[in-house]
Structure 1
Amino acid sequence: MEELRSAMDEHMELMTDLVQKLSSELRSGIRPAFDNFIGFFHAIDWKEPLLASLLTFHVVLLIVTIFSRKNTNFQMCLFLLTLLGVYFAESLNKFLGDNWKKFATQNYFDPSGVFLSVVWSGPLLTIAIIILINTLFCMCYLIVRWKKAEIRHRARLSRNKQH
């Protein structure tokens, strides 16, 4: 019995150490990421026409997504278009990086595409996820309606057989 108690105590000490290490890594891991985000946010001139129009585009697309939530066919087209926008982000980043002087005051378009991923692909993926969740809810609603109709149909058939 004493061996079991010592094994349990040893195991608890090991688990405590692991939890403390994990929590310290999480605390130190979140702060640098937050600092990087704040630095990224302040390094960008958000009043540039390109960024203002891009923000407007994403807001309008989100509004269209919300108002068209009952039109599944339109939502699927919108879903495919948003994913195509993400797919062509690399080509768009290269094109915009080559021509940035025509529409921006500084070159935001690095070769790795971080800026475009944040301001272009991120919002498009968020809208695509919203469309996907809406489609799943619509599918669940249709399945429930179909099952209710099937139950009513079976009840009608059984009533007709009894008479």
Structure 2
Amino acid sequence: MEEVQAAVTAHLDQVSGLVQALSSELRRGMEPAADNLRTFVRAVDWTEPWLMCLMVFHVILLLTAVGLRKNANFQLFLLFLAYSGVYMAEKMNRYLGEHWQNFAGQNYFDRAGVFISVVWSGPLIFVSIISVVCSLITLCRMMVKWKRAELRHRAQLARGKQD
């Protein structure tokens, strides 16, 4: 029984330490995160042709997702493609890290995959969120149309019984 109490106490101490660390981070504000973001943006040469093409690709994908927001089949296909791209990011990072000399001025592809997550997976996840939101809006509109049609049908049946 004492072993269980010791384990629970150790666990509570660990959780307490994590909560204290989180609260101290929150008290410091967003400044450390903003500094890290500024450092990341400055470290990347955004004028490299492959990066510019990648950003154009993401913009076109976003505009396509918004432009075809009422096409449920396309939204599902886009969602599948976006999540497939995110799934393949680790393999892409490894491959691009081995062959970066062929297309980039410096090696952005670290083992942790931070760069690929920011410039590849992040925008794809954002596009997939837009796709899901558009699909949910379309679904809600369909449900409203269906319920209105059902109410009209019931009203017609009720009028038919009165006559």
Flag whether TM exceeds 0.5 (same fold): yes
Contact 2:101 2:107 in 1 (8 A): yes
Partner of 1:111: 111
> Number of residues paired by the alignment?
143
Choose between structure 1 and 2 for higher RCO, CA contacts under 8 A separated by at least 6 residues: 2
SS of residue matched to 1:26? helix
In structure 1, what is the Cα distance between the partners aligned to 2:104 and 2:22?
Answer: 43
In structure 2, what is the Cα distance between the partners aligned to 1:146 and 1:152?
Answer: 10
In structure 2, what is the Cα distance between the partners aligned to 1:91 and 1:25?
Answer: 33
Report the aligned-residue RMSD: 1.5
> Aligned in 2, Cα 1:110/1:23: closer, same or farther, shift over 3 Å?
closer
Partner of 2:15: none
Partner of 1:12: none
Amino acid paired to 1:26: L
SS of residue matched to 2:30? helix
Deviation track 1:93-151 (CA, whole Å, cap 9, x = no partner) reads 01100110000010000011000000000000000000101111111100000000000
SS of residue matched to 1:47? coil
SS of residue matched to 1:34? helix
Partner of 2:81: 81
Deviation track 1:54-73 (CA, whole Å, cap 9, x = no partner) reads 00100111111111111111
Q: What TM-score comes out, normalization by structure 1 length?
A: 0.84
In structure 1, what is the Cα distance between the partners aligned to 2:50 and 2:85?
Answer: 17
Unaligned runs of at least 5 residues, structure 2: 1-20
Amino acid paired to 2:92: L
| Range with greater deviation from structure 2 (28-37 or 78-87) | 28-37
Amino acid paired to 1:32: P
Deviation at 1:25, TM superposition (A): 3.7
Partner of 2:132: 132
Partner of 2:144: 144
SS of residue matched to 1:69? coil
Identity %: 53
SS of residue matched to 1:81? helix
Partner of 2:72: 72
In structure 1, what is the Cα distance between the partners aligned to 2:98 and 2:114?
Answer: 16
Pick the structure with greater CA Rg: 1
| Range with greater deviation from structure 2 (21-30 or 93-102) | 21-30
